[in-house]
């Protein structure tokens, strides 16, 4: 899932350009999406993939945590969330 998916929904809902952020939770809230605790947690985890991959100091700790099993589990959760987001686009 990319921030652009959230930004497309933001543009649709607000009829305006989305703010320049990669924080998926902030974008989802700005779109008025219903977020339970599990979705908030997931959006924060997905955002972490983006942010931690961009900054060298954080890459090392992220790589240690990002085992094959962890990555596969996160990919499945991301795909579910992407389908949910896309279902809300007209």
This model's pTM is above 0.75: no
Q: Is the pLDDT of residue 14 over 90?
A: no
User: How many domains does one find in the chain?
Assistant: 1
Please give the pLDDT value at position 65.
Answer: 80
- 90 — pLDDT class (breaks 50, 70, 90): low
Task: Kindly state the average pLDDT of the residues 77-86.
Answer: 87
Tally of CA atoms within 13 A in the half-sphere of 66 that contains its CB? 16
Instruction: Give the structural domain span for 65.
Output: 3-88
pLDDT digits (tens, 9 = 90+) for 15-56: 777 777 778 888 888 888 889 999 999 888 888 777 655 666
Cα gap 44→68, rounded to integer Å: 20
């Amino acid at each position: 899932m990319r921030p652009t998916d959230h930004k497309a929904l933001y543009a649709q809902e607000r009829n305006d350009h989305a703010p320049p952020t990669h924080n998926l939770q902030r974008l989802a809230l700005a779109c008025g999406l219903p977020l339970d605790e599990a979705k908030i947690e997931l959006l924060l985890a997905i955002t972490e993939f983006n942010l931690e991959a961009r900054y060298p100091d954080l890459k090392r700790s992220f790589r240690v945590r990002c085992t094959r099993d962890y990555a596969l589990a996160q990919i499945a959760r991301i795909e579910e969330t992407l389908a949910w987001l896309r279902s809300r686009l007209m």
